């Protein structure tokens, strides 16, 4: 069973030079899975709470490539932690069966999400009591 101890911050390789900054993410090297899906969230109001689900099979890596947001993760032991994402070269890895809420999006927030699974609504658990 995955717990919040399996939720890890990842610092990606970055090439910073006079031309600007470049960040690299390679499958099975910089993230512990093979990407099958990418989506991103922007224009979410600061009062909005997104996520509010766990996934039976999907792993994710969340990166605020612009701006800032917070992620609260909860596991089946009831343990939780809050991660602030505010640097484009830092991601948070979320394994399956971790409850997640994303919130406090800055006006300029672009939250990039990488996943190892194609979208399948049947593997989303959207009711917290079902999750518990």
Residues serving a catalytic function are 53
Range 20-39, binding ligand TYD (CB under 6 A): 37, 39
User: What is the smallest separation between the CB atom of 50 and ligand TYD, expressed in angstroms?
Assistant: 3
Token look-up 């109001």 returns: 45
User: What is the smallest separation between the CB atom of 16 and ligand TYD, expressed in angstroms?
Assistant: 30
Token look-up 């701006």 returns: 67
- Tell me which H or E stretch contains 33: none
SS3 (DSSP) at 128: helix
User: What is the smallest separation between the CB atom of 40 and ligand TYD, expressed in angstroms?
Assistant: 10
Residues 51/102, Cβ–Cβ less than 8 Å:
yes
Among 4, 23, 31, 41, binds ligand TYD (CB under 6 A): 41
* β-bridge partners, 85: 69
Task: Catalog residues that contact ligand TYD under the rule CB under 6 A.
Answer: 37, 39, 41, 50-51, 119
């Amino acid at each position: 069973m995955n717990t919040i101890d399996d939720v890890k911050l990842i610092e990606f390789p970055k090439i910073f030079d006079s031309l600007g900054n470049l960040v690299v993410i390679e499958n099975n090297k910089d993230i512990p899975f093979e990407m099958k899906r990418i989506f991103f969230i922007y224009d979410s109001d600061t009062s909005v709470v997104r996520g509010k689900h766990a996934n039976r099979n999907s792993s994710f890596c969340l990166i605020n490539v612009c701006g800032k947001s917070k992620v609260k993760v909860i596991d089946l032991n009831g343990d939780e932690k809050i991660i602030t994402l505010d640097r484009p070269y830092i991601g948070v890895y979320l394994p399956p069966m971790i409850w997640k809420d994303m919130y406090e999006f800055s006006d300029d927030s672009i939250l990039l999400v990488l996943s190892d699974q194609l979208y399948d609504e049947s593997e989303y658990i959207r009711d917290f009591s079902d999750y518990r």
